[in-house]
Every structure is written in C-alpha cells, then in structure tokens.
C-alpha cells in the first residue's frame, strides 16, 4: 500500500475517503499525527502529516523514526514524501516541481537511525542512490500522462531549520551541487531505506533561496506558491496512486 507523507501545505489529503484514523505508538515514541487509512480514486492509501495536524511541529523536532515506523506497521509498502523547498538552481521557479534523485544531509542532532542501541552487530545501509528509482520513474511517467512540467532530477540539500538559510549558506550549497533546499528530507529518506521501504519525493518549490533575488523571503510569498503549486502535487499524487 502506498503511503503519503504530507509536508508544509499538505496536512490533509483532498478527496481522500477516510476509512480509519489511528493514533499509533512505536518503540520510538509517537508519530507527528494519526495515521490515516483511506481510499483515493478507489485505491487504498495511507497518509501522515509530517508536521502534525494542525501544522505545529518544526522540522528539527519531527519524530522521523516514529513516523516511518508507524507507516510500515500500518501496512505501507512504499512512501511518497511531499516537501516544500527553496529553489537554488536557475531552472527552479516558485510553484514548480522537482523529483530529486540525490540528497546531501546538512542536519545535525536529529535521531537519524534505527541502528543505534542494543545491536548484535553494526549495521550499514547502502545509500548511494537515496531515492527509489522505480518509484521515481512511476511518478515521472504519471506527470507525462497529466502533462505536468517538472524537473526530473536534482539534488536536495537538507538543512536543520527552522530558520531559513543565509545568502552565504545558499552560495555554499550551490557550490556543493545542490538544486533545492529544504528542512525535512533527512533523516526521513535514510530511515525509509533502513526499513526497506521504497521512498521518493515530490518537491514543490515555494521560493527562490536566500540571496538569489533582490527580494526578502516572506511567508506570504511562500503561501502563494503553495496555493499555486499544490494543485499539481495533488493531481500527480492521485494519478500515481491509481498507477501504483
């Protein structure tokens, strides 16, 4: 069963016929919100609001381990994450979409692995390609069906937050080869890999990153980009769920 993790601007799924909403407990604590089981376009789907519903948990406080664990326990066999991001590369624009294929982790102090305590042996996962390629290709194919223009690859910079970045930090990220920047891409992607859950991301660009324009980044501009772009995200999710 496909699971959707909704980020900023997606705390609930439009059109989702809710079958159950379960408050779950995990060995890692409580997830951000109830795990919602429902139907979308006649297909079963799970949904979890990453920041809670209402939106109140900042990126560095999200219990990523509990979220991923709860989804797997609820029956998830693959996950699509929706992330609001800033654009770094010149081909990014507000309300545009990217399906990243790489990620660089700049976060710190987050509980980032299930393999930390009471181990019989040290465990290492291969993370060369952090996003599941068949799931990425499925999303890209459905975007073609819907004639949704998007960027088919790119590198996501995962920063700590909750503050936005400085112009100098964005320059550094650009020099590192990053195309977009967000605060929730890690450790989510790595935890999914540890649980052997195929994982892909639909990134919605909500602003150009710091120092790339003469404008100051405002929440009003971010909200406008969310409103303008979320319709495409929801259509793409709907189509992908049907094809999954």
List the binding residues for phosphate: 8, 50-51, 184
Pair 184, 50: CB distance under 8 Å:
yes
Dist. CA 8–CA 184, nearest whole Å: 10
Cα-based angle 78, 79, 81 (whole degrees, multiple of 5): 165
Other C-beta atoms lying within 10 Å of the C-beta of residue 206: 28
Q: Are strands 180-182 and 199-208 parallel, antiparallel or unpaired?
A: unpaired
Identify which of 43, 30, 33, 31 has the alpha carbon closest to the alpha carbon of residue 2: 43
Note every long-range contact of 54-62, with CB atoms under 8 Å and residues 24 or more positions apart, other chains counting: 54/11, 55/8, 55/11, 57/32, 58/161, 58/162, 59/160, 59/161, 59/162, 59/183, 59/184, 60/107, 60/109, 60/110, 60/160, 60/161, 60/162, 60/183, 62/32, 62/184
The annotated binding site for substrate is made up of: 183, 207-209
Tokens of 109: 């102090």
Identify which of 195, 188, 68, 202 has the alpha carbon closest to the alpha carbon of residue 135: 202
The annotated binding site is made up of: 8, 50-51, 183-184, 207-209
Dist. CA 142–CA 137, nearest whole Å: 9
Strand partners, 157: 104, 181
């Amino acid at each position: 069963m496909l699971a959707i993790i909704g980020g900023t601007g997606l705390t609930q799924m439009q059109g989702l016929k809710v079958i159950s909403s379960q408050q779950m407990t995990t060995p890692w604590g409580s997830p951000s919100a109830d795990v919602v089981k429902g139907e979308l376009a006649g297909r079963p789907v799970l949904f979890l609001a990453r920041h809670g519903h209402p939106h109140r948990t900042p990126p560095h406080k999200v219990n990523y381990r509990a979220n991923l664990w709860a989804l797997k326990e609820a029956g998830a066999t693959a996950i699509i994450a929706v992330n609001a991001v800033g654009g770094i590369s010149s081909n990014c624009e507000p309300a545009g979409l990217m399906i990243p294929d790489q990620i660089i982790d700049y976060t710190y102090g987050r509980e980032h692995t299930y393999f930390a305590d009471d181990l019989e042996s040290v465990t290492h996962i291969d993370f060369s390609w952090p996003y599941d390629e068949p799931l990425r290709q499925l999303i890209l194919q459905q975007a073609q069906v819907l004639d949704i223009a998007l960027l088919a690859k790119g590198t996501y910079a995962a920063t700590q937050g909750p503050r936005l970045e400085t112009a100098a930090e964005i320059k550094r990220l650009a020099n590192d080869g990053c195309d977009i920047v967000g605060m929730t891409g890690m450790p989510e992607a790595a935890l999914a890999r540890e649980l052997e859950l195929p994982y892909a991301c639909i990134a919605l660009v909500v602003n150009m990153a710091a120092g790339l324009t003469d404008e100051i980044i405002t929440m009003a501009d971010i909200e406008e980009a969310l409103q303008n772009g979320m319709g495409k995200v929801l259509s793409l999710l709907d189509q992908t769920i049907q094809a999954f």
